[in-house]
Amino acid sequence: MMKNSNKEQQNMNKWFSSGSPWIWLSAGGVSISLISVLGLLWLIASKGLSYFWPADIYEFKSINDQGIHGTVIGEIYDREFIPASQLAHTDIKLAPGEETVERLLVKTGNRELVSLDFRWLLVPEIQTTTKPEDVVVIERRTNGNFYGYIESVILDGTVVDISKLPELLERVDNFQEEIDTLQNSYIGAINYKIERTRLKERKYKLDNELTDELVKELNTEVADLEAEYQVLEAELMGLRKQVARDQIVVRAMDGQKVTINFEHILKVTYNNRLNFIDKFLTFLQQISAFLVDDPREANTEGGVFPAIFGTVLMVLLMTVIVSPFGVIAAIYLHEYAGKNAFTKLLRIAVINLAGVPSIVYGVFGLGFFVYMVGGSLDQLFYPETLPSPTFGTPGVMWSAITLAILTLPVVIVSTEEGLSRIPSAMRHGSLALGATKAETLWRIILPIASPAIMTGIILAIARAAGEVAPLMLVGVVKMAPNLPLDGNFPFLHLDRKFMHLGFHIYDVGFQSPNVEAARPLVYATALLLVTIIVGLNMTAVSVRNKLREKYRMLEH
Amino acid sequence: MALAFKSTGTRQLKNSLAKWLITLGGISVLFTLVLIFMYLLYVIKPVFDSATVEQTSHIALSSEGRTLSTGVDELKEVAYEINTRGEIVFYRLTDKNNHELGSQISSQHLISDDAEITHIVDSGIHYKLLVDSDNNNLVIAPKFQAVYTADTREIMARIDYPLGEESLEIDENNEQLKKVAFAMNSEKVVFVAKTTDGRLIKTSLLAEDDFDYDPAFEAIYQEIDFYSKKVDEILITPDLSLAFVQSGNTVSVFDLTDEDVVTLKAEIKPKTNITSMALLSGSSSVLIGDDKGNISQWFEVASDSGRDFQKIRSFNNASGESVAKIYTEQFRKSFYTVSSSGAADIFYTTSEAQLWNGKIAETAPQAFAISPRADAIVTVSNNELKIFTVHNEHPEVTWSALWNEVWYEGYAEPDYIWQSTSGTDDFEAKFSLVPISFGTLKAAFYAMLFAVPIALTAAIYTAYFMTPGLRKKVKPTIELMEALPTVILGFLAGLWLAPIIEIYLPAIFLMVIFLPLSTLIAAFAWYKLPKDIKLKIPETLAPVILIPVILISVYCAFALSPILETHMFGGDVRQYITNELGINFDQRNALVVGIAMGFAVIPTIFTMAEDAIFSVPRHLTSGSLALGATQWQTLIKVVLLTASPGIFSALMMGLGRAVGETMIVLMATGNTPILDWSIFQGMRTLAANIAVEMPESEVGSSHYRILFLAAFVLFVFTFVVNTLAEFVRQRLRDKYSSL
């Protein structure tokens, strides 16, 4: 026995001295890293996707500790276990020995009836849970979702059968679409033109070129536009009236009857009647609506189209700026720079540009580009709009330039890596055949290095798309009234502020009044952003790997 | 031939053009970095400039009589003087619109012709009380208004009488006033005066409506019980709550808030010969000047023995002469002192800064006024009115005020505080960079605490023990973390992780024990496995084997957490920490930030450390192994030692990233600027502070420039760290290539 335990001891010692435990511990580091990366992605994906999946609607009949009966209709949003001791002040009867109590967070909607559209339900208090087939979810333009039973449908003052509902909804949809085009495209364009005419007049005045003739001409122009506006306005009012013709009456969970006008309704669904395929189709529909719709209710509902658009546009502008500079700098470093102190300094500058905190770029961009350069541009070219600034205020152009500086090192490093992988034999061959250095670069080196350059640009885009901190200072806003690109001359409005997916996450998740309600949308936005960025990164990595393979072949 | 030659020429031209262009592009990178550095400095520099005072113009006064009071309008275009004959005369200070500089605009008699004004007392910059030899008392307010015509702007002056044009009866008995002070707002006026028959009186006028448009009032007369017959100076705070009465070398503080009785609240005995006294903007501090050129600041401090007035700090004027007069600015804590020889000094209390000193007259000026925007002073002496332009935009900032403890008004002791804005005008801005720099280091420390063990162990294993096939998959996966936008990490940390940690706090600490323990158990279990199974599942698969092990131990930690909470912490850890341990618990605390930012830092450290270890030349390890060292011994004694500079630079890069990270800290902490290492409390970092306050700060203000300074501090810090890391890495690369 003694011998055995001794042997065990030796065995243990041997194991320890072999270093194997430490190797395993370091393997644990790898495992934790892997778990956290994959777990994080899985968390975002599952939470983000569940936002689109049509949830079951439950009806809970409960009785609370004072013996009051209640009915709650809604989606189960979250569930958690809390220690029973936290409920000591209530008279809840628990099974002996039970230490935790389950509770459900239920989204009840109906914001006009209850102050909070979420409530906690203790599972022991729930008497029955059903999934009534007749419960509908009504998505609305304001006040969020409504959950309840449809009592009647009223067409122009008379009650009609519920089967008419889809038809009426489609009619309203068509009208709403017309209203949107009218409002955004036509009326917006007229307002823009009137504003420009007013500015033209001020400009003439500032240049002392304003003659009576010009005044008359401009005034007639404005009068024409205003007349046009009146016509459209009348048309709009007509449409609005059409839309507001019908109503539905809905019974909420507490028996109250609420009349909802069709002009507020976006969609009516019987979630509990959907089978898996229906749900899947709804799921796809929801995703596409999320991608192409405008936000509603201070960004907490609806889609994120302006944010996607703003992000893409800003990143494209940035790419246009950063690509030539990054590539040229990389070419200089690899092909032209000598081995001297200056080159070392330059390399340190590149490393530091990559290491400077992004917020510092934001501060620099705000002070230098926005206030200094932008302010001077306004003085020179837009004196007519002063004191309200044109370029002297944060906007999409300054954001693009600021992020271009921020991503410059990414392009440089990646391009230089690509250049260094090109065998020098290729350069020598070209030069030996009589080509100049510039020609060698242009005809031989750059084409071969182009995948590396692409990699750098893709990585820069991925970095820029996820960067938020500097943008908060140089151009991003919570809600931009207009897209930076529209049908009004000069079409691309570089001075406009824009919306951004990353900032959308920060803003809706942390600045909105009803964070609980907005959270699923934030997960969905996060999923979208992560998908874009991870997708871009994987593309970049695979391009780079292919490239490496290719050069390996060239070398042999 | 000629054609070929020409084409060679253009080719050469293109070649050299390309060379120049590319060189320019390369240099522009360096230029950008230098530009950022210089621009930040350019914005910051004015903050540390000292004040300048320059005489811009002087006018000979055309009126007779000695000047008693003076003033200037907001745009510094019109100045006025009030002389003993009761005349107010307005002068032009510009030669715009074809006027002559110094010409008289208008003049007006304020009192009857045969009387003489004995003294004029100011309340703020707007109101003046005139007391004449006939015992008439009149409150006036010189007002200026800009009038715009086609292309010019004229400043028009007028006199308002907020309390009516009739003489005010300040003393019930109608005695002549020897000394008087007053302060007013739109609802109430308070006078405190010493009469010739030796009484100290307080008179309050309560507006029936509002003094801004209706001078009607109701008067309340009170007598103050005061032991001393002698009164040298009286001051009333602008909020009408306190009166400071100087009698010899003692200043008595009276509480004026009670309409029935005026009580002596405190006595200030500075133990010097008091020569002058003034109230600092914001009504809490009094400044006392003495005959040795020393000025001390006093305010009420809560101490063990109740609230009493304490000497907070003192200043010395440059000349060392007796302080004849102290003049304070309306909205800032700046003040001017003038000595009898006409030497003036400018100080700022909070920053303890002496901003300027110089001579402004031959003797102490008869009248002295600070312009409403505090950008000029007006002095009158010997019938000459002088205008000095003052550049003193950022008096509140000095290097020592940014980094040392400062005793702010209303605080019990000197402290490091960052509080940049507030609702009120007379707010004392508190710009100490210490709490936010501390917050930055705290956040970085906890992030590194979390990230370094994981990142380094992962790097060691991946570079040294992992099979190439697995490494090819693992490395990009971990590096993918670097691509995750920090806004998403911050969002998850703030809204997902923080509530979880709050509920399952014990689980987090259990994991610190469980994870290594379960790993060791798994390792030992594998060691004990029979040989044939070991061959099927080789040790090189350890990271994969450990994934379920770690998941199970995490699950166990979370499952045990509520039980532990019930049995050890009385059911609620949060309450236990707050009540039993006496530590504040924020939901968004350093623990959350440490974990979230740790995730952001792991890939940075991992990638660089892995590269450094992986590129240790093979022949070194082969040699060590051949000599009989175990894998682990080789790793510790050879590989890590050789790669240590690379690991060091990886850590530096990670630190740089943690220090500059904005979004995670912004979203995962409460952003309160506190000085506390506690893991359960939040912090505010330099970067988050910039993100929060920059959009609201006024361009060119001290606040704006200090935020630039914060950015500059970040810039310099990361510059040093990155350059050091790069330098070490370069050295290492050279070493490897020589091996």
Q: What is the pLDDT of residues B414-453, one digit of tens each?
A: 888 888 876 666 677 888 899 999 999 999 999 999 999 9
* Chain A residues within 8 A of B476 when measuring between CB atoms: 541
Q: Find out whether B439 and B597 touch, Cβ atoms under 8 Å.
A: no
DSSP string, B227-272: S-S---EEEE-TTS-EEEEEETTEEEEEE---SS--EEEEEE--SS
Q: What does the DSSP 8-state code read for residue B294?
A: E
Partner-chain residue, chosen from A23, A38, A353, that has the shortest CB–CB distance to B631: A23
Taking CB atoms and an 8 Å cut-off, how many pairs form between chains A and B?
338
Contact A351 B726 (CB under 8 A): yes
* Chain B residues within 8 A of A81 when measuring between CB atoms: 562
Place of tokens 């004990």: B528
Q: Find out whether B93 and B78 touch, Cβ atoms under 8 Å.
A: yes
> Which chain A residue is nearest to residue B706, measuring alpha carbons?
A363
Nearest to A393 by CA among A414, A417, A365: A365
Distance of residue A497 Cα from the nearest chain B Cα, in angstroms? 14
Q: Find out whether A543 and A458 touch, Cβ atoms under 8 Å.
A: yes
Contact A506 B718 (CB under 8 A): no
Q: Find out whether A430 and A281 touch, Cβ atoms under 8 Å.
A: no
Our CA angle for B376, B378, B383, nearest 5°, is 160
DSSP string, A203-243: HHHHTT---HHHHHHHHHHHHHHHHHHHHHHHHHHHHHHHH
Distance of residue B688 Cα from the nearest chain A Cα, in angstroms? 9
User: What's the rounded Cα separation, in Å, for the pair B237 and B239?
Assistant: 5
pLDDT in tens, chain A (556 residues): 455 667 778 888 888 887 888 888 999 999 999 999 999 999 999 999 988 888 888 888 888 777 778 888 888 888 877 767 666 666 666 666 666 788 888 888 888 887 777 888 888 888 888 888 888 888 888 888 888 888 888 888 888 888 888 888 888 888 888 888 888 778 888 888 888 888 888 888 888 877 888 888 888 888 888 888 888 888 888 888 888 888 888 888 888 888 888 888 888 888 888 888 989 999 999 999 999 888 887 788 888 999 999 999 999 999 999 999 999 999 999 989 888 888 888 988 998 998 899 999 999 999 999 999 999 998 888 887 777 888 888 999 999 999 999 999 999 999 998 888 888 888 899 999 988 899 999 888 888 888 889 889 988 998 899 899 999 999 898 888 788 887 777 788 888 899 999 999 999 888 877 777 788 889 999 999 999 999 988 888 888 888 777 777 765 5
Distance of residue A468 Cα from the nearest chain B Cα, in angstroms? 7
Cis preceding linkage at A389, omega within 30:
no
pLDDT confidence of residue B231: 87
pLDDT confidence of residue B426: 63
Place of tokens 């698969």: B541
User: What's the rounded Cα separation, in Å, for the pair B532 and A438?
Assistant: 63
For residue B152, CA distances in Å to A339, A493, B147, B155 come to 64, 37, 8, 10
> Which chain A residue is nearest to residue B454, measuring alpha carbons?
A29
Residue B403: how many CA atoms within 13 Å on its side-chain side? 6
Contact B485 A349 (CB under 8 A): no
Pairing type for strands B104-109 and A58-63 reads unpaired
Q: Find out whether B356 and B52 touch, Cβ atoms under 8 Å.
A: yes
Q: What does the DSSP 8-state code read for residue A256?
A: -
Question: What tokens were used for B60?
Answer: 């000979």
Chain CA centroid to CA B556, Å: 47
User: What's the rounded Cα separation, in Å, for the pair B738 and A243?
Assistant: 80
Cis preceding linkage at B215, omega within 30:
no
User: What's the rounded Cα separation, in Å, for the pair B242 and B245?
Assistant: 10
Residues in chain A: 556
The count of other CB atoms within 10 Å of the CB of residue B73 is 22
Residue B559: how many CA atoms within 13 Å on its side-chain side? 7
Distance of residue B432 Cα from the nearest chain A Cα, in angstroms? 20
Q: Which residue ranges of chain B lie beneath pLDDT 50?
A: 1-5
DSSP string, B324-338: EEEEE-SSSSEEEEE
Residue B377 in 3-state DSSP? strand
Partner-chain residue, chosen from B29, B461, B551, that has the shortest CB–CB distance to A35: B551
Report which secondary-structure segment, H or E, holds B101: none
Report which secondary-structure segment, H or E, holds B104: strand B104-109
Partner-chain residue, chosen from A356, A366, A534, that has the shortest CB–CB distance to B480: A534
Contact A15 B524 (CB under 8 A): yes
Q: Find out whether B484 and A530 touch, Cβ atoms under 8 Å.
A: yes
Our CA angle for B700, B702, B707, nearest 5°, is 90
* Angle at which helices B468-483 and B590-614 cross, to 10°: 140
Question: What tokens were used for B571?
Answer: 């059911």
* Chain B residues within 8 A of A358 when measuring between CB atoms: 660, 662
Residue B338 burial class via C-beta count within 10 angstroms: exposed 0-12, middle 13-18, buried 19 and up: buried
Residue type, A288: S
Instruction: Print the SS3 string covering B357-368.
Output: EEECCCCCCCEE
* ipTM of the complex, rounded to two decimals: 0.89
Residue ranges of the alpha helices (H) in B397-541?
399-403, 433-460, 468-483, 486-492, 498-503, 505-528, 531-536
Report which secondary-structure segment, H or E, holds A534: helix A515-555
Q: Find out whether A277 and A286 touch, Cβ atoms under 8 Å.
A: no
Residues in chain B: 739
pLDDT confidence of residue A338: 84
Pairing type for strands B285-290 and B274-279 reads antiparallel
Best A7, A10, A13, A33 member to test B by mutation, with max B CBs in 10 Å, is A33
User: What's the rounded Cα separation, in Å, for the pair A415 and A458?
Assistant: 11
* Chain A residues within 8 A of B454 when measuring between CB atoms: 29, 32-33
Q: Find out whether A464 and A403 touch, Cβ atoms under 8 Å.
A: yes
Nearest to A285 by CA among A272, A274, A296: A274
Q: Find out whether A440 and B15 touch, Cβ atoms under 8 Å.
A: no
This prediction has a pTM of 0.89
